Amino acid sequence: MKVLILGATGHVGSRLHNQLQQHNITSIAASRGRMRSDLSNHVILDSMNLSDLTKQLQNVDAVVNCVAGSKDSIGTGAQILTQAALAAGKPLIVHLSTMSVYGASEGVINETSPFDPDYNWYAAAKVEAENHMQAYAHAGGKVVVFRPGCIHGPGSTQWVERISNLLGNFRLGDLGDAGDGWSNLVHVDDVVNAIQLGINLPLREGEIQHYNLAAPDSPRWNQYFIDLGQAIDATPVKRIHPTQLKLDSKAFSPCVKIGQKLLEKVGKANLARHLPEPLPPSLVRLFKQHIFLDVQKISSIGFTFTPYQESLCDCVAWFKHEQH
């Protein structure tokens, strides 16, 4: 089998590429920008270029869509991918979506739960992308869609490095009611293993399958903050007052974000990286959202998730290594 990975320099894509090669699956890592030096068998490819993408897809059995970035690269990019795949003979598409498609929904959420594209631009882009995947299946293509929760583990700048830095600066901790939402954490290797499983699923023409991905024993955010803070010695893990959280997310963090953009605009991106971590309102909303991803569907076909404590150990080991 030959597999093309779009967005192969990202957290999931790069790890997937290495794993497929270890399992003797021919994997081609594709990205529009410079490739990481440790990624072999790679191509420079603009996934928004219909002609170039079609040529690449003519030579593979499956394509994994890990493209991130802007609204256009996610939504319009998915449309171009399905157009190219139809022209190239309908290879299998494995599409990496997100739990954000469920938006502000709360409660136990399974794969048939409604979408909420009005939640934010990211949710809207991912819903648009999934609609294109559905259209590809209607046209006779085969599709597997994964909707992971918060992907942590080694290499996670969002859910390990950022959270650790915020804990270290005592801007996160026990948030009380504001941190009582479920974390829906999933180890990056579980996402990679699920994608590999998806590549090998026996699908009929025109079939599409959707799977939520989150470790069933994922804790609430408050527990994750306490566990991670203690493990990285960001102690004492303090109780954060609601007023502090509100001022941080709605006053301080927007100023930090503006500063980052201004520095990047004048070519000082290296200085922008030294600014404090922003804590946007969208993240604060997530911490209190009572959404719990139901993963019975993928579990029913024999898939198992990395236990939370094991994932936490991996996160801590990686973060501490990166600090030295």
Whole-Å CA distances, 162 to 150, 171, 241: 13, 11, 20
Report the sign of the C-alpha dihedral through residues 173, 176, 178, 182, in that order: positive
| In contact, 119 and 104? CB cutoff 8 Å | yes
Token look-up 């006053």 returns 251
Q: Distance between CA atoms of 5 and 25, rounded to whole angstroms? A: 12
| In contact, 263 and 272? CB cutoff 8 Å | yes
pLDDT at 263: 87
Structural domain including 205 reads 2-154+183-217+291-301
Digit-coded pLDDT (tens) for 86-102 = 999 999 999 999 999 99
Structure tokens at 151: 């992907």
| In contact, 75 and 91? CB cutoff 8 Å | no
The helix/strand count (H/E) of the chain reads as: 13, 11
Q: Distance between CA atoms of 241 and 173, rounded to whole angstroms? A: 10
In a domain, 320, yes or no: no
In a domain, 13, yes or no: yes
| In contact, 157 and 12? CB cutoff 8 Å | no
In a domain, 85, yes or no: yes
Peptide bond before residue 280 is cis, with ω within 30 degrees of 0 = no
Identify the DSSP state of 97: -
Cα 57 versus chain centre, distance: 24
Identify the DSSP state of 99: G
In a domain, 272, yes or no: no
In a domain, 160, yes or no: no
Coil, strand or helix: which one is 144? strand
Burial of 51 (0-12, 13-18, 19+ CB in 10 A): exposed
pTM: 0.94
CATH number of the structural domain spanning residue 35 = 3.40.50.720
Vertex 234 angle, CA 233 and 236, to 5°? 100
Identify the DSSP state of 181: S
In a domain, 108, yes or no: yes
| In contact, 297 and 135? CB cutoff 8 Å | no
**H-type alpha helices, 169-220:** 188-199
Beta bridge partner(s), residue 92: 62
In a domain, 279, yes or no: no
Q: Distance between CA atoms of 101 and 113, rounded to whole angstroms? A: 10
pLDDT at 267: 85
- The one-digit pLDDT tens for each residue of the chain (324 residues) are 999 999 998 999 999 999 999 998 999 999 887 655 556 788 889 999 999 999 999 999 999 999 998 999 999 999 999 999 999 999 999 999 999 999 999 999 999 999 999 999 999 999 999 999 999 999 999 999 999 999 999 999 999 999 999 999 999 999 999 999 999 999 999 999 999 999 999 999 999 999 999 999 999 999 999 999 999 999 999 999 999 999 999 999 999 989 988 888 888 778 777 789 899 999 999 999 999 999 999 999 999 999 999 999 999 999 999 987
Amino acid making up residue 116: D
Beta bridge partner(s), residue 288: none
Shortest CA distance to 184 belongs to which of 67, 297, 295?
295
Number of domains in the chain: 1
Q: Distance between CA atoms of 128 and 111, rounded to whole angstroms? A: 16
Coil, strand or helix: which one is 203? coil
Digit-coded pLDDT (tens) for 268-322 = 778 777 789 899 999 999 999 999 999 999 999 999 999 999 999 999 999 999 9
In a domain, 284, yes or no: no
